[in-house]
């Protein structure tokens, strides 16, 4: 796949799965044996883990939205610099519920293989607890 196609796959994943909550789209975009570095939860690995994470994030902060600031692609790698913003209605991933929105800046590198996201490395600047 071309770098442009890989970038479109990652952008679609962020917009449709993470922002819109359309978990079924992840079947088309994420490999069954997907690997996250580090894993955001102690839940299942692979595609099932991606769906669980996205659902938990949406349930905890229904207004959660990711804004892509930069997206670059070279070969099979896509790098995204973005931030998520939302109001946590319940505790999740170590973040306490709040009446005020929180913003979490992050950078991730995705590896795309066979037209699907196969791997992701993420660094997020989590809010103070």
Per residue in 23-55, pLDDT (tens digit) is 999 999 999 999 999 876 667 889 999 999 999
Q: How far apart are CA 102 and CA 127, in angstroms?
A: 8
Is the predicted pLDDT of residue 107 greater than 60, yes or no? yes
- The full set of domains in the chain, from first to last, is 3-124 (3.10.450.50)
Q: What is the pLDDT of residues 57-96, one digit of tens each?
A: 999 999 999 999 999 999 999 999 999 999 999 987 788 8
Polymer length in residues for the chain: 129
As a whole number of angstroms, the distance between CA 10 and CA 13 comes to 5
3-class secondary-structure state, position 95:
strand
Give the model's pLDDT for residue 105: 97
pLDDT reported for residue 95: 84
Say if residue 124's pLDDT is above 70: yes
């Amino acid at each position: 796949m071309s770098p442009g196609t890989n970038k479109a796959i990652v952008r679609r994943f962020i917009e449709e799965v993470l922002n819109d909550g359309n978990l079924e789209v992840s079947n088309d975009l994420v490999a069954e044996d997907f690997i996250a570095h580090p894993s955001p939860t102690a839940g299942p690995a692979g595609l099932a883990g991606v769906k669980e994470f996205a659902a938990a994030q949406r349930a905890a902060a229904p207004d959660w939205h990711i804004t892509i600031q930069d997206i670059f692609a070279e070969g099979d790698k896509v790098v995204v610099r973005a931030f998520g913003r939302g109001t946590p209605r319940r505790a999740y991933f170590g973040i306490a519920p709040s009446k005020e929105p929180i913003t979490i800046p992050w950078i991730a590198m995705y590896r795309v293989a066979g037209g699907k996201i196969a791997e992701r490395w993420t660094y997020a600047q989590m809010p103070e607890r």
